Structure 1
């Protein structure tokens, strides 16, 4: 039994070391892409994440209020709460894990084009972007919504690595959290709609 435990612990350490090597090696390659186009691309998309993630549902809610469009308002509430849930969950995990930023952990290999005060894992920009992209795609399952939304979310994730502020694993985790929150919130939102709009809960399904 003792030998089995030792073998399991050793394998876990080896796998963990290999994963960490992949993380920093991949980040180093992406962070080293310092051409003018790539840098400007990353700068724009990295900084766009908070504004677009908040701005889209807020704009939808305002437009719905002006036009007295109840269905659009429900969509705005769903999308807004999906993003909010993803961000809250992400920040909770950040402070629970407390992972050091890559530019602090590897100052000789990672150049930060911007700095952050919060822990590294997972990426909140990426989780918000993927939550917005997924919730928009669920509500409006058309190629002209899905394609640009997915491209924008992926670009945000890439930009965070190119900026040197996140490991690939941070970005992947953020994407999973954001996507998951948008999917789960479809069901949570039924209860919210009952409370806000006095509607009866509907049968399960992603699109309703």
Structure 2
């Protein structure tokens, strides 16, 4: 069963990985990937807390609590699972240089889905664009060659789950 899942994951990776894509598509995928690097989260969180009264402050607190739960879990799993990135074991060249050597779970996917989930809780009218953005960040990590599909699925589950837990915790304060 495990071998079949790995084969399916690898086949899906090669179906989505696009090293010879159109320049505009490469630019969009790299921009989506970069939007999940984390700097955007800090800036938007601070701006929300400073300029959006209590809703912005609740959102910022929720995001901080969620990341405080997610980051240690992510780092533990990343180093415990220690799955080698596809660009390092399948003789393919990634479109960017990853920040570490392991691929599972995807930190970009976890962060994007965490942030999107926290934002959707406080700004529900933005749900569709936030889900599209988080999906785009996740997909971009496969397309640029640094993650397998299961990596981004697990990352999305971890990010969303930690956000939901934080929403519950912050709601009790």
- Aligned match of 1:8: none
TM-score, normalized by length of structure 1?
0.76
Give the Å deviation of 1:27.
0.9
CA contact (8 A) 2:55 2:122 kept: no
Alpha-carbon distance in structure 2 between the residues aligned to 1:31 and 1:186: 34
- Aligned match of 1:23: 9
Specify which of 46, 50, 63 is matched with residue 79 of structure 1.
63
Deviations 1:93-140 (A, max 9, x none): 101111111111111xx3211122241100000100000111111122
- Structure 1 residues 47 and 84 mapped into 2: Cα distance closer, same or farther (>3 Å)? farther
- Aligned match of 1:48: 35
Give the Å deviation of 1:85.
2.6
Alpha-carbon distance in structure 1 between the residues aligned to 2:58 and 2:114: 16
Alpha-carbon distance in structure 2 between the residues aligned to 1:184 and 1:173: 16
Give the Å deviation of 1:31.
1.1
**Structure 1 unaligned residues grouped into runs of 5+:** 1-14, 194-208
Deviations 1:127-163 (A, max 9, x none): 0000011111112222xx0011111100000110011
Deviations 1:155-206 (A, max 9, x none): 0001100111000000000000011011111222245x3xxxxxxxxxxxxx
Alpha-carbon distance in structure 2 between the residues aligned to 1:182 and 1:129: 11
Alpha-carbon distance in structure 2 between the residues aligned to 1:181 and 1:114: 28
- Aligned match of 1:164: 145
- Aligned match of 2:77: 93
CA contact (8 A) 1:94 1:118 kept: no
Alpha-carbon distance in structure 1 between the residues aligned to 2:56 and 2:31: 28
TM-score, normalized by length of structure 2?
0.90
Q: 4+ residue stretches of structure 1 with deviation over 6 A?
A: none
Alpha-carbon distance in structure 2 between the residues aligned to 1:124 and 1:95: 12
Alpha-carbon distance in structure 2 between the residues aligned to 1:174 and 1:167: 11
Decide which moves more: 153-162 or 15-24. 15-24
- Structure 1 residues 72 and 53 mapped into 2: Cα distance closer, same or farther (>3 Å)? closer
CA contact (8 A) 2:18 2:144 kept: no
Q: Which has the bigger relative contact order, CA under 8 A and spacing at least 6?
A: 2
CA contact (8 A) 1:131 1:182 kept: yes
- Aligned match of 1:5: none
Larger Rg: 1
Alpha-carbon distance in structure 2 between the residues aligned to 1:25 and 1:94: 22
